[in-house]
Amino acid sequence: MKYLLLVLIIFVNGFSFAQENQIAGTWKLTEIRKGEESKEVDSGYIFEEGGVLKLGFFNMEEIIEAGTWKYNKTDNAIEMISDIDTNCNGKAKILKLSANKMVYKKDALEYHFTRESENSVRLTNLEFSEADFFTEDGNYKYDGEKEKLPWQDIVAMIRNMEEVGSLVYDYSEWNETTKSFDKKQLTADVIANSEEMALSIDYIFYGYDKYNLPEDAELPSNNDYTTSLYPEQEINFRITVTEELTTPAGAFTCTVIEAVEAETKKMLWMINDQPGVYAKIIIEKPGMFGAFYHGVFELNNIVYRF
């Protein structure tokens, strides 16, 4: 009898731990139901493993700490405490919980969630380093790479970009706290004039654009189109492969480039027949205070002028 009781205790505790683990993470609240009535919503809930509850707004661009949460195994419910949002205060009875879906009921309302998977954008660590680009004597190995790039004709690039008003990118930045990506959209405005041989493409690969500038930050001009990887910055690089890449903006044939400068590493997908447009860029570098920065920029839309 004692053995059976012990097994039962282990089973219950194991189930409780599994449920709590499954709740933890980043969820997107998509719908709130009351009887036959339904309301579509779009906000993020972050149930951190330490019991902190956060809310995300504006495509998770703004995240605030809303309160605390814990799993009640007796009632199969989430108990939340919050002084700033009534939706995050009280007991929520779990009706459904799977790897990607969660439904709970609170105050006669059903809340429907889908998990924001950290794998929707892959955390692909860049395995090369600056040492790979130089010989033991310190000589650069890839002096001839520039001639192999698909973007050789500056005039063709300017004419191509004359038709473009802006480039929209989905930006995903790895958040070590939530073990998921924080996401937002960035817009790079384009100004091109073939008669004046002028071209400017906003450099939004800092992780912000002119419409969402951090405090005390500015977006420098980016009009030196004679650099090898423009609109990217001048940096040591090597060509790896040609690859078909599908993005929200479409499928493209790309030249894949590895680039490095000191501890900053980049992987670039240069669209062969769209000079001036990258399909995707991954950037890795040390962050502030010893943190790790991993950012992914994926082309969402080419906005044409006509």
**Confidence grade of residue 289 (pLDDT, cut at 50, 70, 90):** low
Q: What is the pLDDT of residue 100?
A: 84
Q: Which residues, 6+ apart, have CB-to-CB distance to 39 below 8 Å?
A: 31, 32, 33
Domain that holds residue 262: 130-304
Is the pLDDT at 281 greater than 90, yes or no? yes
Higher pLDDT, 126 or 79: 79
The answer on 47 and 82 residing in a single domain is yes
Which of 92, 115, 138 is the C-terminal boundary of a domain?
Answer: 115
- Note every long-range contact of 50-55, with CB atoms under 8 Å and residues 24 or more positions apart, other chains counting: 53/80, 53/82, 53/88, 54/178, 55/85, 55/88
Does 289 lie in the same domain as 149? yes
- For position 8, which CATH number holds? 2.40.128.280
What is the rounded average pLDDT for all residues in the chain? 87
Residue 95 and residue 105: Cα distance in Å, rounded? 7
Looking at the fold, whether 294 and 168 belong to one and the same domain comes out as: yes
Question: Would you say residue 105 has pLDDT above 90?
Answer: yes
Mean pLDDT of 101-118: 88
In this predicted structure, the answer to whether residue 125 has a pLDDT above a threshold of 90 is: no
Centre a 10 Å sphere on the Cβ of residue 205 and count the other Cβ atoms it contains: 22
Q: How far apart are CA 87 and CA 32, in angstroms?
A: 11
In a domain, 122, yes or no: no
The pLDDT of residue 34: 92
Alpha carbon distance 277, 160 (integer Å) = 10
224 domain-assigned: yes
Number of domains the chain contains: 2
* Same domain membership, residue 293 and residue 159: yes
pLDDT for 99 equals 78
Instruction: For the beta carbon of residue 32, count every other beta carbon within 10 angstroms.
Output: 16
Q: For residue 59, what pLDDT is reported?
A: 62
User: 124 lies in a domain?
Assistant: no
The pLDDT value given to residue 286: 86
- Residue ending a domain, among 115, 144, 159, is 115
Distance CA 164, CA 39 (A): 37
Which strands, in side-by-side order, build the sheet including 250-261?
Answer: 198-201, 180-193, 164-175, 292-304, 278-286, 264-271, 250-261, 236-247
Query: Residue 166: is its pLDDT beyond 60?
Result: yes
Do 12 and 138 have their domain in common? no
Write the pLDDT tens digit of every residue in 1-46. Answer: 444 443 333 334 434 445 677 898 889 999 999 988 999 888 889 9
Task: Determine phi and psi for 184, rounding to 5 degrees.
Answer: -160, 170
pLDDT (tens digit per residue) in 213-225: 988 888 989 999 9
pLDDT in tens, 238-272: 999 999 998 999 999 999 999 998 889 999 999 99
| The length of the chain, given as a count of residues | 306
Amino acid 49: pLDDT: 78
Do residues 166 and 246 share a domain? Answer: yes
Distance, in Å, from the CA atom of 296 to the CA atom of 291, rounded to the nearest integer, reads 17
Looking at residue 95, what is its pLDDT? 95
Q: What is the pLDDT of residue 123?
A: 60
> Does residue 26 share a domain with residue 88?
yes
Nearest-angstrom CA–CA distance, 5 and 1:
6
| Domain co-membership, 61 together with 150 | no
The pTM of this model reads 0.63
What pLDDT sits at residue 17?
44
- Quick: pLDDT tens for 224-240: 999 999 999 889 999 99
Q: Give the residue among 163, 168, 153 at the shortest CA–CA distance from 275.
A: 153
